[in-house]
A and B are shown apart, each in its own frame.
Chain A
Amino acid sequence: MNENDINKFGETRRGFLKKTSLGFGAIALSSLIGQTAGFAGVPDSSGLYKPQGLSTGTHFPAKAKRVIYLFQSGGPSQIETFDYKPSLEKWHGKEIPPSVQGTQRNSGMVADQSTFPLVKSIFDFKQYGDSGAWVSEIFPHTAKVVDDLCIVKSMITDAINHEPAVMFMQTGSQLSGRPSIGSWLSYGLGSDNENLPNFVVLLSKSPGSQPLNSTAWGNGFLPSHHQGIQFRSGKDPVLYLNNPHGVHDHDRRRALDHIGKLNEHQFDLWQDPEIKSKISQYEMAYKMQNSVPEAVDTSKEPDYIYELYGEDARIPGTYASNCLQARKLAERDVKFIQLYHMGWDQHGSLPKGIKRQAMSTDQATAGLIQDLKQRGLLEDTLVVWGGEFGRTSFSQGRLTADNYGRDHHPGCFTMWMAGAGVKKGMVYGETDEFSYNVAKDPVHVHDFQATLLHLLGIDHEKLTFKHQGRRFRLTDVHGQVINELLA
């Protein structure tokens, strides 16, 4: 009896007692040979992409069947995007008051700076939609879908440097090596599509961006089939997916049949159940070889789709192309589709840098929302947009008439969600007049993660995995579902 299953099944105490009383032999044996504790890190040997985990269902009805997470890596400034601060006009160029700065830490990059002049957004803001949410002029397309968004302006994180902050956002721990959200969901919910990975990762970037660490989509201590599988632009969308030269699909099929026969024979010889598992892995590999190319092929999309996502969507590897790809994967019931777009780290020359970032993402982001909506997919797909932290309201480096920079700022930042289970046209939380501290309704990263799991029908306190003697969860020992965000 693997006790990971007990937690995964989330059974009641009584049900569990009854169940174990039936399977007494096994328990007695395990207690004799000392297996009561210590299943640390023992993976299940069942195959990838089979429904597993909470196979009796979720903890409660799920609003979202899948997630598209548009990770804006580098830390987009909240002040130039969604957190409209007219109050900064009058503070522009003036020193940030110590009372505002409080005990919030600065990164080592401004530690030698002797002045901290506040700086207003160089971009204009307007209110949009029925909700009247304020959106910056750099996001004209996002502004159009604002009534579908649930904007959270009061995000808080613990980390101030890129990697720890990305890890924290994606895995609930600042240290690399823990399972990421997608892995937790794969482990907890299993798959709805046996032919595609459960957790797919798509990357795009701008010149000079901060790098990424691939362990951000790693499985950590969860079995490795829960890791994010990167879909790459180009001829080999999944590593090693293509047959070698000179091997056609029917040749591969034939070879697999022979391999299968040999494996069956080996099973007869050794009676090793692992052989059966391998046989099914090979069949799944074959299915993937056939279904992935079809799933990633956007060449047959009609022109109006490219008008929606923008012309960039025709260029493989761009953010826009990845957004379109994400929709295709959502249609095929991939559970967790994780995009990373690098390049939001504007320490200096922020006005130019963030505008360029916005131009390369805005239309596709909005296009994705509209596309999901017109296909009815937005009803059970959760879309998340956000980075790893916000940026300071004071300038990093010199403030001039048309130029400034902003440093990392964990104290407040903006994210949004859209689609399944979240309120539409919602703006939640407030920052102070400087956009430096959260003034109302803080949402900590762990709260965000708890809410995300909740939308997928998972109680974040119950989805655990025992490793090194301890039961780990995505939210560590923290996190509260923010009910106000739920539709």
Chain B
Amino acid sequence: MTRVIPILTNRLSLSLFSLLFLLAGCGWEKPEAIQLAYKDLPEAIDFNYHVKPILSDKCFACHGPDAANQEADLRLDLEEFAFASLKSNASHYAIVPGKPGKSEVVSRILSEDKELMMPPPESNLSLSVAEIATLTKWIEQGAKYKPHWSFIKPETPNIPAISERNWANNEIDHFVASKLKTKNRKPSEKASKENLIRRVSFDLTGLPPSLEEIEEFVANDAPEAYGKLVDRLLSSAAYGERMAADWMDVARYADSDGYLDDKHRDFSPYRDWVVRAFNKNMSYEQFITWQLAGDLIEDPTQESILATAFNRLHKKNSEAGIVFEEYRSEYVADRTSTVGKAIMGLSMECARCHDHKYDPISQKSFYQLSAFFNSTNELGTAVYGPGQVPGPALLLTNVEQDKILNYIDSQIKSKETHLEDLRKVADKEVEKQPLKEANLLDKLQKSLSSKLVAAYNFDKMLPGSSKTTFKSPGKTTHPGPVEVKEPVIKAGAKGKGVFINDFTTLSLPDKVGWFDQTDPFSVNLSVFPDTLYQEAVIFTHCEDIRLGLKGYSLFLEDNKLNFIMAYSWPENAIQVKTVAAIPVKEWTDLTITYNGLGKADGVGIYLNGEKVPVTVSADNIYKSILFKPDIHTYGFRGFVLGVRDKMKTFLNGGLDELKLFDQELTALEVLYAANPEKARSAISVKGDQNAKELIADYFFKSDHLEANDLRKSMVDLRKERAKTTTDIKEIMVMGDLEKPRPTFILDRGMYNAPTEQVDPGIPETVLHYDEKWPKNRLGLAKWFFDAENPLTARVFVNRIWQMHFGKGLVTTSGDFGNQGSMPSHPELLDWLAVKFRESGWDIKKMHKLIVMSATYQQSSKNTPDLLEEDPDNLLLARGPSFRMTAEMVRDNALSISGLLTQNTDSESAYPYQPEGLWDEITTKSWRYRYLQEPGDGLYRRSLYTIWKRTSGPPSMMIFDVSDRSECNVRRTETSTPLQALVLLNDPQFVEAARVTAEKLIKKYRPEEQLAKAFKLSTGRQADAKEMEIIQQFYQEEEERFGLNKRDAMAYLSTGSKPVDSTLDPVRVASLATVINGIMNTTEGYTIR
């Protein structure tokens, strides 16, 4: 690129020639407009506060941290690059400190030449005069760079001295007042007591104060009355619910998986945990550490593990055609972004596909962070059978159930010991009395027959129900024939065998092979692989993979046998795989034996009668694996072989000689069944240790009566245990694979484009990861709560502030990066952050500190000049005021009417919702029905309302609740006619107004009722003007309802709460419409 002297035309009021001259020469004289702008700039230009926001927003997209997208090889985010000579022209420099005239940046931002101007016209970005002036002044002053403000550890700042010492209640007020002073402003007067109790009640509990509470507080002149009120609110149970409602957005809490199927999933135990945690005032450190790594802490408890459900609340796809790995990587990315935004206040998700454009977060650091969350033992599909949970699950036992399970376990344990003892004695007995070989073989034959429940040799194919269906009779008499569809018949292991084409299926009769994980059983079969199968199914007695392969099944994986017994594979399962592969193009006789004791070591795999070595990749089963019909299952197919959809076919492979046994076969029986001759020679070798063991084992397992009884009672106990656990709820939690899953940088974020492998790590620009911390989620938590971490305390304390002031000191509470806004009161934020950390991360303490401040207690009244100068109240010259959250809007109505019920049930509630909404988006036979609560359940706090991701609670959505598709730390506040329609017409609000009216009529004299109604609805006394309006309103209503009593009756009919028939309907309806009207004025839904 050749240097072209910029040609400036028509630029502001600037003389073209003088500028040309000035820029070309060494001196620097500002253009007039810039000069003019200087006087509005602060004296000292600060890189973080003044310059970087401009550079980040307007320049970094092309000259920022993203290594792959640096135009002209220039980056302006770091001084070593910005001050270096330009790659395109070594004699020029982007920035020469102190010399704007020599800085290429300056000439470019002043240029009018389309080829040269920066930002270039096609970027759709431009700089204002003030921004240009800021940049030039900064360069003039030496272009001093600083690390990003939020990456510098907060230190306790000096408390500014202020003149309003009488006004200030605590340090917060010093920071605020000193800032106000720079603007020649004073704080507002104190809010009225009525306003104050209402404000602080909603802020801390999400609920309004009662009339009595208001009156008592207003009457109480004691100086400590407010402090006591705050303490009472902080210790009320409603506090935890208020805080949890906020945290639900962060945790993207929902009662359904999301995506099209949107299967429902009860996560309410996690929600309850959050409420409890806040109410116990769990420290923020513990609160986060448990949610990140409650399974990894020392002595984890059910509570601590339950907390980790936080990272499993992402959406889960159950669409049939998905590639699992694609969605698994989606979940990992979601956890990473959530942790990034929730705890660090950084928007990590940009770095999933490329280096962050604005923040020093490389793509690599995104994947390093994601490596902490990449080892969950899960599939990309949702598993959604009744009670089934994908990936690690926590059994939510109560104390009683724990007792039962512990008792059963101890019983099993003692029987196990007893069995071992018996075995030692029995082995010696066997050695003492050797059996005759012929007798033994005969005995083996008999015991095999007695254990046999079904046998098919596939030598005969009788006509079936259609041309392509056959029946192959069984060798034993009781089970019926196997139904075979479209078989290819060829020579088998013995006689004929069935070969598999694209459409071949073999189905055993109903209930043959119906074994639970508590039943001992064995399967024997001959297979003929046509080739080396990467993956193929041999037999299944299980459900679809989206139902966790519930049941048992045998697969080939690179021709190794892979036996799975699962409740919800791959986590709640036993999985045993042979080390060696079976040969291609020959028949192998294989046997699977299982002792019914629920452990992988109870599974034996035999090839041609010989036990083979296996590896165990899962050993965790406790619930019953028997099929249970449910609308979400697809019906059960029983024991089937051959083609099965969504499983790889054993194409062109052969099957023959299938036998099922309802006992665990011993090694000797298996050998005998596979090869009697070999069995005979094995036991005939005298004194052979192997033979002795085979025989002893056989006798102990088949002939020993006492041992048999013991085993039977163990099976019974295990059945009892499974029965107990099967009905116990489980919840998805975190839990890592023993060997961490390797993590790769994914090119453009694509699951199938891995590049470099990375270790778990964090963005080093924030804080170094101390080697003493483990490289797992627990270590990550330690990194977050290290005293040196610059972000954790600031980010959360800012959100507490946001709860009280409607916006944070950093308004972009989810983005503390370069593109986020700067703190309005940086020293105050740092002071609060340090205070929070030093308090031991005490959340209630921070709330109290904030609400005790004089700043918080100011009146929120506006003045015209304040509105003009500071419409967003960033200076805090007045008290906070904002619309109630969606939850508060409804809970307020429930509360003042007295309808609100204490939470009694953990699972989500189904309050009023317009009919048919869920039915409109699906016609699936398994669709979920919205069954409105019959009684008090209607009136639980909004926190507990059922959250279906594809159809959120409509009235709450209209009031800007976040959509729960991803982590959100700040709701937008909009104003729409739909909100008016909700408050005017939603049965919930109409009913609440009616019940409130009934309550007031019963409690107060007629002349008091309107005033009380107003006070109850708005929290304050009506003034004369307001009384006049509502009285007139009431009279009109009384008149019209009086003329038409049926309208009154109709109006009262809304809602489930029975009408109080002792009251005059005209009066109730009149008062109710007035109350509904008051609730529809801004005072009814605004925190003042």
Q: Does A55 contact B (CB under 8 A)?
A: no
Contacts of B57 in A (CB 8 A): 36-37
Q: Does A311 contact B (CB under 8 A)?
A: no
A67 to chain B, nearest CB (A): 22
Among the listed B357, B973, B980, which residue makes an inter-chain contact with A282, where contact means beta carbons less than 8 Å apart? B980
Among the listed B129, B503, B820, B921, which residue makes an inter-chain contact with A469, where contact means beta carbons less than 8 Å apart? B820
Task: Check A212–B981 contact: CB distance below 8 A.
Answer: no
Given known contacts A36-B53, A223-B974, A244-B990, A17 and B129 CB-to-CB distance under 8 angstroms: yes
Among the listed B320, B824, B861, B916, which residue makes an inter-chain contact with A108, where contact means beta carbons less than 8 Å apart? B320
Task: Check B1082–A469 contact: CB distance below 8 A.
Answer: no
Query: Which one of A20, A34, A236, A274 has the greatest number of beta carbons of chain B within 10 Å?
Result: A34
Q: Does A214 contact B (CB under 8 A)?
A: yes
Task: Check B965–A177 contact: CB distance below 8 A.
Answer: yes
Task: Check B982–A108 contact: CB distance below 8 A.
Answer: no
Q: Does B399 contact A (CB under 8 A)?
A: no
Interface string of B814-830 (1 = CB under 8 A from A): 11011111111000000
Among the listed B131, B954, B1054, which residue makes an inter-chain contact with A239, where contact means beta carbons less than 8 Å apart? B954
| A29 CA to B821 CA, complexed, in Å | 14
| A273 CA to B975 CA, complexed, in Å | 12
Question: Taking chain A's interface residues, is the majority helix, strand, or loop, or is none over half, making it mixed?
Answer: loop
Q: Which of A13-31 contact B (CB under 8 A)?
A: 13, 16-18, 20-21, 24-25, 27-29, 31
Among the listed B124, B819, B1052, which residue makes an inter-chain contact with A462, where contact means beta carbons less than 8 Å apart? B124
| Segment from A140-148, A155-163, A330-338, A438-446 that makes contact with B | A155-163
Given known contacts A211-B261, A464-B124, A470-B350, A265 and B1025 CB-to-CB distance under 8 angstroms: yes
Interface string of A252-295 (1 = CB under 8 A from B): 10110011011101100111111101100110110011000000
Contacts of A261 in B (CB 8 A): 1029
Task: Check A212–B814 contact: CB distance below 8 A.
Answer: no
Contacts of B42 in A (CB 8 A): 32
Q: Does B781 contact A (CB under 8 A)?
A: no
| A242 CA to B986 CA, complexed, in Å | 9
| Segment from A39-47, A302-310, A349-357, A426-434 that makes contact with B | A39-47
Given known contacts A243-B985, A285-B978, A407-B321, A274 and B1082 CB-to-CB distance under 8 angstroms: yes
Among the listed A34, A43, A240, A288, which residue makes an inter-chain contact with B972, where contact means beta carbons less than 8 Å apart? A43
Interface string of A418-438 (1 = CB under 8 A from B): 000000000000000000000
Q: Which of B35-59 contact A (CB under 8 A)?
A: 36-37, 40-42, 49-50, 53-54, 56-57
Q: Which residue of chain B lies nearest to A207 when distances are taken between CB atoms in the complex?
A: B923
Q: Does A90 contact B (CB under 8 A)?
A: no
Task: Check B1026–A265 contact: CB distance below 8 A.
Answer: yes
Q: Does A246 contact B (CB under 8 A)?
A: yes
Q: Does A376 contact B (CB under 8 A)?
A: no
Task: Check A214–B921 contact: CB distance below 8 A.
Answer: yes
A272 to chain B, nearest CB (A): 6
B1052 to chain A, nearest CB (A): 8
Contacts of B350 in A (CB 8 A): 470
Contacts of B973 in A (CB 8 A): 43
Q: Does B635 contact A (CB under 8 A)?
A: no
Contacts of B1067 in A (CB 8 A): none
| A281 CA to B984 CA, complexed, in Å | 12
Task: Check B975–A277 contact: CB distance below 8 A.
Answer: yes
Considering the complex of A and B, which 10 residue pairs feature the smallest CB-CB distances, nearest first?
Answer: A469-B819, A34-B822, A38-B821, A107-B321, A246-B1051, A246-B1050, A211-B922, A28-B40, A285-B977, A271-B862
Q: How many A-B residue pairs have CB under 8 A?
A: 363
Task: Check B124–A27 contact: CB distance below 8 A.
Answer: no
Given known contacts A38-B812, A240-B985, A468-B819, A108 and B130 CB-to-CB distance under 8 angstroms: no
Q: Which of A120-152 contact B (CB under 8 A)?
A: none
B835 to chain A, nearest CB (A): 22
Q: How large is the interface on B (under 10, 10 to 19, 20 to 34, 35 or more residues)?
A: 35 or more
B930 to chain A, nearest CB (A): 14
Q: Does A87 contact B (CB under 8 A)?
A: no
| A281 CA to B987 CA, complexed, in Å | 20
Contacts of B1053 in A (CB 8 A): 245-246
Task: Check A270–B860 contact: CB distance below 8 A.
Answer: yes
Q: Does A35 contact B (CB under 8 A)?
A: yes
Enumerate 25 A-B pairs (CB-CB under 8 Å) in ascending A order.
A13-B117, A17-B126, A21-B129, A33-B875, A34-B53, A34-B822, A38-B811, A43-B972, A206-B923, A213-B259, A239-B958, A239-B978, A240-B914, A240-B981, A240-B984, A246-B1053, A259-B1077, A259-B1081, A262-B1081, A266-B1083, A273-B862, A284-B977, A285-B984, A469-B358, A469-B820
Task: Check B950–A215 contact: CB distance below 8 A.
Answer: yes
Task: Check B1040–A468 contact: CB distance below 8 A.
Answer: no
Task: Check B1080–A259 contact: CB distance below 8 A.
Answer: yes
| A28 CA to B952 CA, complexed, in Å | 42
Contacts of A230 in B (CB 8 A): 920
A168 to chain B, nearest CB (A): 14
A179 to chain B, nearest CB (A): 12
Q: Which residue of chain B lies nearest to A162 when distances are taken between CB atoms in the complex?
A: B260
A35 to chain B, nearest CB (A): 6
A396 to chain B, nearest CB (A): 10
Contacts of A17 in B (CB 8 A): 12, 126, 128-129
Contacts of A468 in B (CB 8 A): 347, 814-815, 819
Task: Check A31–B975 contact: CB distance below 8 A.
Answer: no
Task: Check B818–A469 contact: CB distance below 8 A.
Answer: yes
Q: Does B1030 contact A (CB under 8 A)?
A: yes
| A373 CA to B277 CA, complexed, in Å | 63
Among the listed A112, A258, A271, which residue makes an inter-chain contact with B1033, where contact means beta carbons less than 8 Å apart? A258
Known contacts A37-B821, A161-B317, A225-B978, then 19 further A-B pairs from the complex at CB < 8 Å, ordered by chain A residue: A7-B124, A20-B129, A27-B131, A38-B811, A38-B812, A39-B821, A45-B975, A109-B320, A112-B646, A211-B260, A211-B922, A212-B260, A215-B950, A232-B916, A246-B1052, A262-B1030, A270-B881, A271-B864, A284-B980
Q: Does B863 contact A (CB under 8 A)?
A: yes
Q: Does B963 contact A (CB under 8 A)?
A: yes
A51 to chain B, nearest CB (A): 16
Contacts of A176 in B (CB 8 A): 258-259, 315, 965
Q: Does A56 contact B (CB under 8 A)?
A: no
B929 to chain A, nearest CB (A): 14
Contacts of A175 in B (CB 8 A): 965
Q: Does B216 contact A (CB under 8 A)?
A: no
| Segment from B296-304, B409-417, B647-655, B787-795 that makes contact with A | B647-655
Query: Which one of A32, A234, A259 has the greatest number of beta carbons of chain B within 10 Å?
Result: A259
Given known contacts A35-B874, A177-B963, A246-B1050, A211 and B862 CB-to-CB distance under 8 angstroms: no
| A121 CA to B958 CA, complexed, in Å | 46
Given known contacts A246-B1051, A266-B1082, A282-B1080, A163 and B819 CB-to-CB distance under 8 angstroms: no
Given known contacts A112-B648, A163-B259, A242-B985, A38 and B815 CB-to-CB distance under 8 angstroms: yes
| A355 CA to B90 CA, complexed, in Å | 70
Contacts of A225 in B (CB 8 A): 974-976, 978
Interface string of B1046-1080 (1 = CB under 8 A from A): 11111111100000000000000100010011101
Q: Which residue of chain A lies nearest to B536 when distances are taken between CB atoms in the complex?
A: A112
B237 to chain A, nearest CB (A): 31
B1081 to chain A, nearest CB (A): 4
